[in-house]
Structure 1
Amino acid sequence: MPILNFDGRAYEGHEKETVLDILLKAGKEISHSCKTGRCQGCILHCKEGDLLPVSQNGLGEELTKEGYFLSCKCPLRHNLEVASPETHTFFQEATVVKKRQFSDTICQITLKVDPDFEFLPGQFVNLGRHEGVLRSYTLAGLPTEAGVIEIHVEKRPAGELSNWLYSDCRVGETLLLQGPHGQFYYRPDSRDQNLLLLGNGTGLASLMGVLKSAISNGHKGHIALYYNSDRLTGFYMHQTLRELEQKYESFHYFPCFSSLYFREGFRQGRADEAAFRDFPSLSGWKVYAAGFPSMVYTACSRARAAGVKVEDIFEEPFEMKDLRRTPRM
């Protein structure tokens, strides 16, 4: 049975377990979020042993050469000696400077970070409270002020960090921040292409990042944004989107009720259902889908069937993995 040495202690592990699985089972507080490799929050440093290439997929060349790897994607096939990375190498501090409540479940938090922090709206960062658990949040605002970023937080049942951020976090609180990550952002070279934006939940933060970037870059093609919720309070930026629709002739907003509830001015069905009824052929378009995985993956499949090139489809599924010793209710 292979042995994992971590910070001076040895742990036995099954070859089908990942390094992250073994350390969490042993009670170690390892920074992590999605457990799929997407968020890159579980990076560790390999000091001795052979890593499988899959454990370093998505990391930069420099990090790969230095032996850093994603512990959630690293099965323990051989003996490994690993260590926690230096905090200052991957994290910076972020201070809460403003909170705004959008609804009874969603709020906006503005954070002050290093003035040299660079990002593209729609990318995401990992945030934590120094206790090891990280969660990923999309950067929704434009980088209009150096060192200021904006995230949207949704309160969830048994959501350890999101509930604290929504209910108890106060202005002045300091968090750890890692990132930015992700390919979900506007490409200025696509100014003439039509854009289809599909979302639900706080996937709207990702779409707002793309939308604001497109507008600020003088996008010339049409932009259609479809957003669904099963309750009226779920449309937490409804008025803002209506105002943008009135201001920009090429932007069109379609709120969609995914329940049987009917309201004038709203479409029926999930965002992807309504959009592909309206646009059965999308050759030459770019498609962005963000939110709950079932909608995102279905939307991407429908986009390919509608003629969208694979390289013009961007997805941001908000996977809700069970990351706790006490399972999510």
Structure 2
Amino acid sequence: MPELHAGDRSWSVAAGSNLLDALNSAGVAVPYSCRAGSCHACLVRCQQGEPQDAKPEALAAERRAEGWRLACQCRVVEDLSVEVFDPLRDGLPAWVAGCDWLSPSVLRLRLTPERPLRYRAGQHLVLWSAERVARPYSLASLPGEDPWLEFHLDCRHPGAFSDAARQLQAGDPLRLGELRGGALHYDPDWQQRPLWLLAAGTGLAPLWGILREALRQEHRGPIRVLHVAADADEHYLAAPLAALAAAHPNLELELLTAAELPAALAQLRLVSRQTLALLCGSPSSVEAFARRLYLAGLPRNQLLADVFLTRAY
């Protein structure tokens, strides 16, 4: 049986054991969210030995060369020594620039990093609380325009990170982990094509940045934004979205409650086979959007989606 080493601890594990599970079951706390190699919350650095990596392409080559691996995607096949991501040592310091409520359940968090962070609209970033709780969140800010990094936190349900975030005040420190490019982005080559942005809940966060990026690049095709919320009070960006729609004749805005969604989807029709659709929200909402778009004739390669998974940590 292979020996697994972490810090000052060593123990035997069954060959082929998932590295994330092996560490957490032994009390070596490694955070995780998606278990699919997307969120990058479960970073560990290999010091000796090499695990079997099911998704090596999920990390940049330079990160892999430094020994970093995603524990959720690795299996222990030989003696292995690792160190877990330490936000104090490996993370980028940041401070709270602002923290306020956009709706009864959506908390807006704005952070100022120690040094400028290069990113594009639609990417997500792992945030570490002072209690060493990690959670990946999509960036809602627009690079080159917003002087902060902005995140929209869904606080409807208890969670270790969201509970800690409720107590944050301006000037409080946090740490930033891995910056990750999800499926969502804006491509300047799309300028003439119809663009649909469909979001549920705080799935609107990355699409808010992408919408403003598209408008900044003078997108000429029609843009349709559809936001689904539990109730009317949770359309937390209704006013700024309406202001953009008033200023841009090619932008159409539709705000729906969850109860109104089935009827609206039944009426959904493509305006063009060239339409591009960007979806974000819970698994069930993204599945509902995608199913209706497929039935409406949207080619699968013209649909980009990020799914938000909820965890109580």
Moved more, 195-204 or 72-81: 72-81
Q: CA deviation at 1:115?
A: 4.0
Q: For 1:205-242, what per-residue CA distance to the aligned partner results, in whole angstroms no more than 9, with x for missing partners?
A: 11101111111110001111111122121111112222
Q: Helix, strand or coil: the match of 1:278?
A: coil
Letter of the 1:176 counterpart: R
Q: CA deviation at 1:275?
A: 4.6
Q: CA deviation at 1:42?
A: 1.2
When the two chains are superposed, the root-mean-square deviation of aligned CA atoms in Å is 2.3
Letter of the 1:291 counterpart: G
Equivalent in the alignment of 2:169: 170
Q: CA deviation at 1:90?
A: 4.7
1:50-61 → structure 2 map (5 Å cutoff): 50-61=50-61
Letter of the 2:24 counterpart: L
Relative to structure 1, the CA distance from residue 17 to residue 156 in structure 2 (aligned partners, 3 Å threshold; closer, same or farther) is farther
Moved more, 308-317 or 274-283: 274-283
Equivalent in the alignment of 2:67: 67
Q: CA deviation at 1:89?
A: 7.5
The CA distance in 1 between the partners of 2:272 and 2:185, in whole Å, is 19
Relative to structure 1, the CA distance from residue 290 to residue 305 in structure 2 (aligned partners, 3 Å threshold; closer, same or farther) is same
Q: Helix, strand or coil: the match of 2:153?
A: strand
Equivalent in the alignment of 2:99: 99
Equivalent in the alignment of 1:263: none
TM-score normalised to structure 2 length: 0.90
8 Å Cα contact 1:135-1:161 kept in structure 2: yes
- Alignment partner of 1:269 is 2:274: no
TM-score normalised to structure 1 length: 0.86
Equivalent in the alignment of 2:36: 36
8 Å Cα contact 1:3-1:11 kept in structure 2: yes
The CA distance in 2 between the partners of 1:90 and 1:302, in whole Å, is 43
Unaligned runs of 5+ in 2: none
Relative to structure 1, the CA distance from residue 280 to residue 142 in structure 2 (aligned partners, 3 Å threshold; closer, same or farther) is closer
Equivalent in the alignment of 2:48: 48
The CA distance in 2 between the partners of 1:17 and 1:276, in whole Å, is 45
Q: For 1:84-115, what per-residue CA distance to the aligned partner results, in whole angstroms no more than 9, with x for missing partners?
A: 35657752011001122111111211111144
The CA distance in 2 between the partners of 1:68 and 1:7, in whole Å, is 16
Q: CA deviation at 1:78?
A: 3.2
8 Å Cα contact 1:226-1:275 kept in structure 2: no
Q: Helix, strand or coil: the match of 1:236?
A: coil
Equivalent in the alignment of 1:294: 284
Question: Which of 268, 273, 285 lines up with 2:275 in the alignment?
Answer: 285
Relative to structure 1, the CA distance from residue 300 to residue 241 in structure 2 (aligned partners, 3 Å threshold; closer, same or farther) is same
The CA distance in 2 between the partners of 1:2 and 1:185, in whole Å, is 42
Equivalent in the alignment of 2:9: 9
Unaligned runs of 5+ in 1: 260-267, 325-329
The CA distance in 1 between the partners of 2:244 and 2:146, in whole Å, is 24
Letter of the 1:177 counterpart: L
Q: CA deviation at 1:74?
A: 1.2
The CA distance in 2 between the partners of 1:29 and 1:229, in whole Å, is 34
1:101-180 → structure 2 map (5 Å cutoff): 101-145=101-145, 148-165=148-165, 167-180=166-179
The CA distance in 2 between the partners of 1:230 and 1:130, in whole Å, is 31
Q: Helix, strand or coil: the match of 1:168?
A: coil
Equivalent in the alignment of 1:192: 192
Relative to structure 1, the CA distance from residue 145 to residue 207 in structure 2 (aligned partners, 3 Å threshold; closer, same or farther) is closer
- Alignment partner of 1:250 is 2:230: no
Letter of the 1:37 counterpart: G
Q: Helix, strand or coil: the match of 1:98?
A: strand
TM superposition outliers: structure 1 runs of 4+ over 6 Å: none
Q: For 1:258-285, what per-residue CA distance to the aligned partner results, in whole angstroms no more than 9, with x for missing partners?
A: 12xxxxxxxx225xx6256222575211
